[in-house]
Structure 1
């Protein structure tokens, strides 16, 4: 793989115009296609195989047309303190608003609150339900404006009037704010890391290109595959983060190869062959984890995973092709100012150096002497591999003093941890364990309008209805009775009375029969809110009573509705979370076993991933469920954690954790394979990779944290969870626990049974195959013709 990517990098460098035109053509074609594509539709939540979904399907079969997906709006009227909406003046205002609401061309019907008994017992609150002929996505601006105008008119009369429902969905926050925040922070981090405007701008440019291609693709396919706005937002979030990071790794390796004396084209090939190999592997782990979300069985989760996987694939392809192409356009611009200055000085002295080498060739160089005597050149020093020969040719002074001169903050930190592994390990594990404890009280659910900011009309309408009609009014249970083969009316009456007498049910609405009079639907209003644990218990109680009721009536019933559907989804996702986590951890062990050819290193990486993801979930529970620090992050209402969020977090964090593991530990393994001691290999890994890994982690944290400002509660929650997970995994697990564990293991960390070594395939992630090619390119001509002696 490394050799193939090396050739691909050189080809992209040489044929940079073709590569640039190709990607520009892809972007233009997808952009035009997106402009002509129909609008996206939100198919909502569904999960085949659960009772709520079966009941919805039964309703669609027995009530054709009644389960249409037309948009609805629930307009709430609240009288001033001490007054009632039934008072003459207030009633006149409400009736005028209802008449105005029914005047739109897309309105199918408006239920008058005074004739539909939609007035609270104390008379303070009433609501009118507006039903539209079209879906929420097909509502025109005129229809939405008419709804807003009617609401504003009632407010001017003194009534409090709010609107909720699918027709009033306000969507996410200001478009582009999160992306601008993430990109701005990333630009600062890149500038500090590289010390070059071009080097800092290149990863940003290629990442934006990848995100644009991804979003145009999603927009083009949205209508055909039912992709929602959240799907695109999550793909953008992940695509932007990994796009910057993958380009960062390639550009950083290119600068390193240039510093070692390689020509620009050769450096680009080596960068893609080495760092690019790690990018491919890291991207593959993310894709596998995200695509694996399909096994959970939630269509929306599957769409999110596949869309985000596509964003990662695009980011990898751009890092392997477009990045070296851009390096071909500006081969020296990405270097630091000091490196460019040194390069100019080197060119000025090259001619004089060649003259001196010519004089030495006549007298005393080992190659010249060997040519005169017919023998081989005599090299002094320790036995060397191709890599050490290459290093020696660049820098003959490779002793401890030279290594000390190359020390940076990463090497100093590695030495600090190496000398104190036990305290670092204990503090890190205890800290992550303490954060993970709240995860034991994790409650999953699907928050609705109650989770939106109080600045939205939907949230205020939700609160007004809860005060006027009770907290359970916002989440009624839908009971579907299948009375085929039984006395339908008697059976439905018996079932309604039984459910109405259940503790926790406030009221039961009159049943509605289909045309065949063999199926009925009625609503049961709980006394508690949709996200309350007591509501979940109530649903279970009603379902447990079903066998006795069915045997007495001969009819069967099922509980559904948004509340029951959300409860069923939460139960199924929670049941799938730990098996999925076990699958991901097992996959991590296998992949790292192949890459690092070690038994203990993959186990250490998997355990570290478990610690970081559990700690991140614990942090999410602390803020979004328990409410500690909720105001800091703009969380208006605490409650259960979004059902899909933990399992989606696990998939993404797995891939990102493997990113850092590969980029950091692969350099340690490379140094160990070439003869360095256990301590030296860890220090070498930190010397070359720590700064880049820290920069990559900071960029990802900035990108993910920017989405905390979104009003969509799921996006806000995922942004916080991912930012916390990257922070913990990169800085605690990879930068502290990894060197601490390797210090305790020593050389045993790289142990692999011989039989297993023969079975495992060889994956050259570090680019070992390129070391010999690179060494041959760096050594003098005569030395290149002869093999390097085993003993000198």
Structure 2
């Protein structure tokens, strides 16, 4: 009976939450970046299979196991006292009451924490890490430092300068003598360009229709100065050198390629976030028939993502504790990290939002008392949300043990986001805001209520005169089986 009721009640919320996760993951297809398509499809398929197993395989296994799914103490208590309503006491109930009594103070405190952690996000610098970000004890880092001209322990100098690890490649298309003359003079012009340490070439192919020049910056490949040099070459130096000719020179190399990739990601990120937030909000609007619930969910999701990126920037870009964790020195943030993190975090945030608000919505429909609905919903679901969050935090934090900077970046970002979402947003800021808004949480214009289709997460209420479940007898074998 418990399994049947759980599937009919919680199973609906699980299916609905799974749909929101799939929307967040499949939103990566909007970016039209081929290497992310496999990630989106594989992760979405995993969610679909997990949801299907939770509403089919899990209750089937419970039917096979029977009462042995409970511990001996639980079976003994059922045999002696019979089933009874669960009493909501303990830390969860006391916390729900505390939030109800001090919503403004706790809401301001939670908002201040999220805002403080989100501030480093404004200094986000997308780029790709290299051997220079490896731990100082690794051989790849030592080789990188030798090439970059770092001083050794005895004070002797070595290497070729920091830009030698990531030279820029200038490729020109030459259509005539004028283009060749301009390309021959280009190295001399480039030597006087700020940020250029060395210039090599030019070199030509057999037909002299294509020329190559190598430019070594005076800064490391992942530094902002090198990115500025790429922009300076493209916007100023090269157009001036090609003035009056048909010469076309394109800038390639490690830094230029990663900058172009990051600009593509940044350019498509607003569309991606907008699509994911809009579709998720529409689903919440249909489920809870409220304007305030989807708006708060969207704001909370953005807050969780911004705060998580603030932690990532502080640890990996600013280097706060990265060496202590064995993750090397400070450096830029991987360009594809925002896309994958936003997809995963929006899915998890929507999960927690559905589980939390669905119980509040059920209580609101029964009593029309907003304070009671928020208090009961928080008391009954906070333990589930926090337990799930602890599991996810442990999984994501284990990524740090890999020793790889990129994987650790995902782990710390996702773990911090889940922790903030579960312990600050869902169990503190969201209920505090809902207490302050009162009945406005559930407001929906009448014309929109008539226009929207009816989609309910909760099953129809049971009749009041339903017979009570039979009291287990002490002699029943399933209850006393050892």
TM-score (norm 1): 0.55
1:722 corresponds to: 414
Equivalent pairs counted in the alignment come to 460
Q: How does 1:400-415 map to 2 (within 5 A)?
A: 405-415=87-97
Asked whether 1:503 is paired with 2:194, we answer: yes
Deviation at 1:514, TM superposition (A): 3.0
CA deviations over 1:494-550 (Å, ceiling 9, x no partner): 233333332211222223433433112232111100011110110011101333322
Larger RCO (CA under 8 A, 6+ residues apart): 2
2:213 corresponds to: 522
1:289 corresponds to: 24
Equivalent residue for 2:300, pick from 608, 620, 623: 608
Q: How does 1:71-90 map to 2 (within 5 A)?
A: none
1:698 corresponds to: 390
Q: 1:342 to 1:272 in 2, by over 3 A?
A: same
Deviation at 1:574, TM superposition (A): 2.6
1:596 corresponds to: 288
CA deviations over 1:83-126 (Å, ceiling 9, x no partner): xxxxxxxxxxxxxxxxxxxxxxxxxxxxxxxxxxxxxxxxxxxx
Deviation at 1:485, TM superposition (A): 4.3
CA deviations over 1:673-697 (Å, ceiling 9, x no partner): 1225222222221332121111001
Determine the C-alpha separation between the residues in 2 that align with 1:712 and 1:343.
50
Q: 1:741 to 1:514 in 2, by over 3 A?
A: same
Contact 1:452 1:711 in 2 (8 A): no
* Ranges in structure 1 where 5+ consecutive residues have no aligned partner: 1-261, 348-393, 396-401, 781-792
1:279 corresponds to: 14
Deviation at 1:626, TM superposition (A): 1.3
Q: 1:454 to 1:521 in 2, by over 3 A?
A: same
Q: Secondary structure at the match of 2:244?
A: helix
Q: How does 1:124-135 map to 2 (within 5 A)?
A: none
Asked whether 1:461 is paired with 2:143, we answer: yes
1:672 corresponds to: 364
Asked whether 1:622 is paired with 2:357, we answer: no
Deviation at 1:601, TM superposition (A): 1.8
1:305 corresponds to: 40
Higher CA-based Rg: 1
Deviation at 1:611, TM superposition (A): 1.7
1:452 corresponds to: 134
Deviation at 1:346, TM superposition (A): 6.7
Deviation at 1:428, TM superposition (A): 0.6
Q: How does 1:166-245 map to 2 (within 5 A)?
A: none
Q: 1:777 to 1:518 in 2, by over 3 A?
A: farther
CA deviations over 1:621-671 (Å, ceiling 9, x no partner): 111111223234333110111111123212211110111111111011111
Q: 1:273 to 1:550 in 2, by over 3 A?
A: farther
Contact 1:477 1:526 in 2 (8 A): yes
Asked whether 1:493 is paired with 2:175, we answer: no
2:124 corresponds to: 442
Contact 2:27 2:275 in 1 (8 A): no
Equivalent residue for 1:638, pick from 330, 336, 341: 330
CA deviations over 1:709-755 (Å, ceiling 9, x no partner): 22222211111000010111111110001211111122221121111
Determine the C-alpha separation between the residues in 1 that align with 2:312 and 2:462.
49
Q: 1:665 to 1:311 in 2, by over 3 A?
A: same
Equivalent residue for 1:481, pick from 165, 168, 172: 172
Q: How does 1:752-763 map to 2 (within 5 A)?
A: 752-763=444-455
TM-score (norm 2): 0.89
CA RMSD between the two structures: 2.4
Deviation at 1:599, TM superposition (A): 1.1
1:171 corresponds to: none
2:55 corresponds to: 320
Contact 2:23 2:276 in 1 (8 A): no
Equivalent residue for 1:586, pick from 278, 288, 298: 278
Q: How does 1:732-743 map to 2 (within 5 A)?
A: 732-743=424-435
1:108 corresponds to: none
Deviation at 1:481, TM superposition (A): 0.8
1:549 corresponds to: 241
Contact 2:328 2:405 in 1 (8 A): no
Q: 1:634 to 1:587 in 2, by over 3 A?
A: farther
Q: 1:304 to 1:456 in 2, by over 3 A?
A: farther
